[in-house]
Amino acid sequence: DQQVKQNSPSLSVQEGRISILNCDYTNSMFDYFLWYKKYPAEGPTFLISISSIKDKNEDGRFTVFLNKSAKHLSLHIVPSQPGDSAVYFCAASAIGAGSYQLTFGKGTKLSVIP
Amino acid sequence: EPEVTQTPSHQVTQMGQEVILRCVPISNHLYFYWYRQILGQKVEFLVSFYNNEISEKSEIFDDQFSVERPDGSNFTLKIRSTKLEDSAMYFCASRVYSSTEAFFGQGTRLTVV
């Protein structure tokens, strides 16, 4: 069962443009969402997170938007840089239910073209 | 910058053998995790560990798996009798008490032949 879905396996964006990565979830218990970036042969690196009490969180070039009614979140990267090329994972946890385990999506491979 | 370190980076073992994967979490972190990623699939939660006991585990984490914190710095995952389907990348992660963000190690690639 895919409780966290990233429907786009890959995305190509021109350098300097906006990258938008999408994520949907089905479990209503999820109340905390995170984005991780992963380079080949490395572990996932934490990027940005958002609690369900917010609808937006911004950190430099990275902004995460949460639409709870649609059970949808997105990660915006502006402007995109070649170094952003990596696999991006959306993850969710149900902290209010006492669970800090992360449920991951399958990932979206972002390629930023110089 | 502090990081989670895992050893070895690659382990090849024969089916039926026991393996121990090792992790050194970030020093002030109190919660420890193991995840795995089978090739081509998503990262899956295995187990979480706090205060010297398992706090959560998934259905993947059956009697063949165990975790231990043998001393103040190491956190280990043992697989008693490896199967071919245990071949995967295993990630250790840790977090502080006051944060929800888990920090991951670089992974151990386990190949069961």
Q: Which chain B residues are within 8 Å of A106, Cβ to Cβ? A: 41-42
Q: Which residue type does A10 have?
A: S
Q: Which residues of B touch A36 (CB under 8 A)?
A: 104
Q: What are the Cα distances from residue B2, in Å, to A44, B88, B99, B105?
A: 15, 25, 16, 11
- Looking at residue A2, its pLDDT comes to 79
Say whether pLDDT at B99 is over 90. no
Q: Do B100 and A32 touch (CB under 8 A)?
A: yes
* pLDDT for the residue A98: 86
Residues of B with CB under 8 A from a CB of A: 4, 6, 31, 33, 35, 41-45, 48, 56, 58, 91, 93, 95, 100-107
Cα angle A97, A102, A103 (rounded to 5 degrees) comes to 100
pLDDT at residue A6 in the model: 97
Per-residue model confidence (pLDDT) at position A41: 84
**Listed residue (A26, A67, A61, A66) closest to A47, CA to CA:** A61
| 3-class DSSP assignment, residue A58 | strand
pLDDT of B66 over the 70 cut: yes
**A90 touches A66 (CB < 8 A):** no
Please enumerate in sequence order all residues whose Cβ is within 8 A of that of B36, keeping only pairs 6 or more positions apart, or say none.
B43, B44, B46, B60, B88, B89, B90, B91
d(CA A32, CA B3): 23
Strands B43-50 and B53-57: antiparallel
**Mean pLDDT score of chain B, rounded to an integer?**
94
> Token pair 């350098």 is at which residue?
A15
The whole-number average pLDDT for the span B59-80 is: 94
Which of A64, A61, A30 is closest to A48 using CA atoms? A64
Asked if A103's CB is within 8 angstroms of B58's CB, the reply is no
Instruction: Please state the separation of Cα B113 from the chain's center in Å.
Output: 20
Question: What pLDDT, on a 0 to 100 scale, did the predictor assign at position B17?
Answer: 98
| Structure token pair of residue A103 | 């449920």
Report, as an integer, the average pLDDT of A92-113: 94
pLDDT interval class at A1 (50, 70, 90): low
Mean residue pLDDT of chain A comes to 96
Q: Tell me if B29 sits within 8 A of B79, measured CB to CB.
A: no
Say if the Cβ atoms of B4 and A100 lie within 8 Å: no
Phi first, then psi, for residue A82 (nearest 5°) are: -55, -35
pLDDT at B98 over 80: no
List, for residues B10-40, the tens digit of each pLDDT value.
999 999 999 999 999 999 899 999 999 999 8
CA-wise closest residue to B86 among B23, B39, B25: B39
A3-52 pLDDT, tens digit per residue, is 999 999 999 999 999 999 999 999 999 999 999 999 988 899 999 999 99
